[in-house]
Structure 1
Amino acid sequence: MQTTPVILSGGAGTRLWPLSRNASPKQLLRLLGPETLIQSAARRAPPENGFAAPLIVAGEAHLSGIEAQLAEIGVSPRAIVLEPAGRNTAPAVALAALLLAEDELMLVMPSDHIINDVEAFRAAIARAQPLAADGWLVTFGITPDRPETGYGYIESAEPLAEGVQRVARFVEKPPLETAKAYLETGRFCWNAGIFLLRAGSFLAELRRHAPEIEAAARRAIAAAAAEGHIIRPDSASFLASPSDSIDYAVMEKADRVAVVPVEMGWSDIGAFGALLEQLPRDDGGNAVGGDVLALDTANCLIRSEGPLIAAVGVSNVTIIATGDAVLVVANERAQDVKRIVDTLKANGRHNMS
């Protein structure tokens, strides 16, 4: 069953500043090896495994980088849809769905996630395809290995097919004790934000639950300008759309929603702590890159894209140096890096963000 990958590439990755910037967000960076995150996402769903050419939804500022990186790995996109502005994931997915036939399946996945066990991911997709073709909205849940408070959760109900359950409910990021209780039940998995959807079924549910988003996207595509595989939706029409996530707009409200729990070595690389977990470490638990001298250090992420970083006697910190900025943050405060970006913008230093 052929499925079109829809790769969402609109995020800025503010928690990975100063590596990730508006002009060069994390999905375009080589954070873990020779491939960028968007290259890894595109290679996850190749033609030899029954997937169509990918459809990318991104911003105009990243077009040249995306095209160059896809060409580098020999991937020719079906289309690159350039959002006039970010309106969250529901409008972005709507733009993609409107470019497909109603009975086509689309595999919606962020461009900045890591999946280490790609074969497990493809097997999960195969389990989900029959239900998605029948109109179910299918999401993929990550089998949790710890009581994580930084992710949303999905509670599963009765089985619908082998390895597929009906979704009982979506829940927000919980406090620690609640997360521990979720794990004990065995019914909860992390919400990875990856979906398998029949284009027509998704649009019908969007029209039902968020009609202003569906109508704005439809008008934007109807008046879009196309130049080869580059599609520019009409700006005024798209900007009239409310900003909402696919979870809030559709998945939490629709009746026929299913989840496929899967263990596939997943990470959203949402902050430097997640990046540290993915990188090889030395005997002291440090992950270092670039010109770094680390003495008597432990459990540190230290990366330089320019000057020498010398660290002595520190532990549990992240130190990042680029050509114009240096970040030092305690590992347990990694999520707060976004506050730096917010402050830079508030101070008018948009060139730094």
Structure 2
Amino acid sequence: MSLITPVILSGGSGTRLWPLSRTGKPKQLLSLTSDETMLQLTAERAPSSEGYAPPVVVANAAHAAMIEEQLGAIGIDDALLILEPAGRNTAPAIAAAALALDRDAIMLVMPSDHVIRDVPAFRAAIAAAKPLVEQGWLITFGITPDGPETGYGYIQRGDELVPGVARVHHFVEKPDRATAEQYLAEGNYSWNGGIFLFGAGAYLDALGKHAPAILAAVERAMQSAEREGDRLYPNPHDFAASPSQAIDYAVMEKADRVAVVPVEMGWSDVGSWDALHAISDMDDAGNAQHGEVFAIDTQRCLIRSEGPVVAAVGVSDLIVIATPDAVLIMPRGESQEVKRAIAALQKDGHITLDRAV
């Protein structure tokens, strides 16, 4: 085993960041935290200049042209795009990537829409994990918690295998607050960030043992896949026949040789407008602004405009997101409630759910 292949999962729809993120252009294809998009930032964490192989991107076929354009803009023109005919969650998506590689390839599986501010710390964690991967271990990266977060799953660490890497004792579901506080007090729990490192063969073997229906369906889909240049289209009928399961449930919680690398690397899944506000640069009044915004006597707001001028006067603790065709206004701290707006729009079949801004 030598070069590590980045496998970037880009199949999500990202409706929690509506109205900016849409089915037609989800959050990984947006510039949310810098001038570069989240997909571009993800790809740049594992560049060829650092000894990584060309990336594999597993994505929605509708986004292929945008992905190629964005990767080309940062000098990546040799990525393989595996274009899913239907979303079947992460276990089948990763299986498709593994089947497209040699069995002895090392896969660095990364969601395309996460923030990692300390990339050197991330690369150091990868280096610590690689020797165990070469011995057949499946590695997950555990995020060092900075509070009793109830929105993430947790990983309980067991015995240390080598410095900086521990056997996974237990995966646990999203806890209530009291349980999350207990995890923090005990000190041997990490957030489950959904980033993995393992050999393609080791993953396929574990999948065949613990979720054989997924492996069988994806194998059939890949055997009859159609290729157009750097685009690979799995057979739609066979791929859709796969059970829809996350890698955690299908493999990681059941396999024997699973380890975790706890790492503090400035991570966020940017899963809500509140999360974006928390990691954004703010003015002295706690406001995070983007676009043509005038904040007057305004405190602790996230105000973002993708077109119209937004003037906020004498308000506090608001989220205001303006696009050319939609405006979202809601209290800070309650941004998960955007799902209520999404539900109302879905009921009406509203075009702003799909149309890219």
TM interval, shorter chain, is over 0.9
- Check the 8 A contact 1:56/1:77 in 2, yes or no: no
User: TM-score under structure 1 normalisation?
Assistant: 0.98
Structure 2: tracts of 5 or more residues without a match: none
User: TM-score under structure 2 normalisation?
Assistant: 0.97
Cα root mean square deviation, aligned:
1.0
Q: 1:266-325 CA distances to partner (integer Å, 9 max, x unpaired)?
A: 111111111112211111100011121212211100011121212122211100010110
Distance in structure 1 (CA, Å) of the matches to 2:19 and 2:237: 32
- Check the 8 A contact 2:19/2:328 in 1, yes or no: yes
Aligned AA (1:183): L
SS in 1 for 2:307: coil
Aligned AA (1:44): R
Give 1:169's aligned residue.
Answer: 170
Give 1:77's aligned residue.
Answer: 78
Give 1:312's aligned residue.
Answer: 313
Give 1:212's aligned residue.
Answer: 213
Distance in structure 1 (CA, Å) of the matches to 2:106 and 2:51: 12
Distance in structure 2 (CA, Å) of the matches to 1:195 and 1:219: 25
- Check the 8 A contact 2:325/2:352 in 1, yes or no: no
- Check the 8 A contact 2:301/2:316 in 1, yes or no: yes
Distance in structure 2 (CA, Å) of the matches to 1:77 and 1:8: 17
Structure 1: tracts of 5 or more residues without a match: none
Give 1:48's aligned residue.
Answer: 49
Aligned AA (2:45): R
SS in 2 for 1:33: coil
Give 1:284's aligned residue.
Answer: 285
The CA deviation at 1:329 is: 1.3
- Check the 8 A contact 2:19/2:352 in 1, yes or no: no
**Which of structure 1's runs of 4+ aligned residues deviate more than 4 A?**
none
Distance in structure 2 (CA, Å) of the matches to 1:133 and 1:4: 14
- Check the 8 A contact 1:112/1:268 in 2, yes or no: yes
Give 2:198's aligned residue.
Answer: 197
The CA deviation at 1:345 is: 1.9
The CA deviation at 1:55 is: 0.3
Correspondence 1:182 to 2:183? yes
Give 1:347's aligned residue.
Answer: 348
The CA deviation at 1:351 is: 4.7
Distance in structure 2 (CA, Å) of the matches to 1:58 and 1:117: 26
Aligned AA (2:240): L
Give 1:112's aligned residue.
Answer: 113
The CA deviation at 1:138 is: 0.2
Aligned AA (1:214): L
Distance in structure 2 (CA, Å) of the matches to 1:250 and 1:151: 18
Report how many aligned residue pairs link the two structures: 353
Aligned AA (1:261): P
Distance in structure 1 (CA, Å) of the matches to 2:86 and 2:340: 22
Distance in structure 1 (CA, Å) of the matches to 2:352 and 2:21: 13
Sequence identity percentage: 58
Distance in structure 2 (CA, Å) of the matches to 1:171 and 1:77: 38
SS in 2 for 1:332: coil
Distance in structure 2 (CA, Å) of the matches to 1:59 and 1:300: 33
